[in-house]
Amino acid sequence: MPEAVQEATNQAGPCPEMDLLYLPSQVPGSLTICPWYEQLATIERELRQGQAADILDNLRDAMQLQELLLVGKAKAAAGNKSITRAQGYINRAATHVSHFADAYRSCRQAMVRLGMKEDDSAFPVLNASDLRLKAVTGWKATGEGKITNSWIWTHGNIKKDTAEWKDDSKSFPASCI
């Protein structure tokens, strides 16, 4: 234990933003018997659940954006310059999808280390096959009606009514926009 305290106090960087914070999900198994561990683990578990829900929202938004960019490229891009530019946007959206998927997986692993069951239905495992989206702008091909969206579209803070969140954006003062 004294080695861990010494390690933590020697991590002081040039500014507080550079300091390492050791969370309960990062603590070695030998320290989980400490009296403070369970309280801190409960707090981190709640924070990670909120983080995972936010990441799923961002993942859904990024997947929808990627799909809309693909459709827009097919419909509107003509010529090498506009096709290249559109492909750059699509690649950036794909990078965001990949980033959010990795962030969700990391967050979920931390929750498992904190005691969540591996097969917990509230936060399922995110596989590469789950990163699919049924057509946003309409049917794409014959037979697509048999395809169903993955669990991503039914878990978390689903925006039920898009008009509702658009109305919320109007309630901000003009100085904030």
Range with the poorest average pLDDT among 94-98, 102-106, 119-123, 134-138: 134-138
pLDDT classification of 143: cutoffs 50, 70, 90: low
Q: What is the mean pLDDT of residues 29-35?
A: 73
**Does a structural domain hold residue 8?**
no
Q: What is the mean pLDDT of residues 158-165?
A: 51
pLDDT at 54: 94
pTM: 0.72
pLDDT classification of 140: cutoffs 50, 70, 90: low
Higher per-residue confidence, 8 vs 78: 78
**Does a structural domain hold residue 12?**
no
**Does a structural domain hold residue 13?**
no
Q: What is the pLDDT of residues 67-110, one digit of tens each?
A: 888 877 776 777 788 788 878 888 999 999 999 999 999 999 99
> If you compute the radius of gyration of the chain from its CA atoms, what whole number of angstroms results?
21
Domain of residue 37, residue span = 18-135+143-176
pLDDT at 8: 54
How far is Cα 66 from Cα 161, in angstroms, rounded to an integer?
21
**Does a structural domain hold residue 7?**
no
**Does a structural domain hold residue 69?**
yes
Mean pLDDT, the chain, rounded, equals: 77
User: Does the structure show a pLDDT above 90 at 163?
Assistant: no
138: left (phi over 0), alpha (psi -120 to 50) or beta: left
How far is Cα 70 from Cα 83, in angstroms, rounded to an integer?
11
How many structural domains is the chain composed of? 1
**Does a structural domain hold residue 90?**
yes
How far is Cα 59 from Cα 132, in angstroms, rounded to an integer?
11
**Does a structural domain hold residue 92?**
yes
**Does a structural domain hold residue 24?**
yes
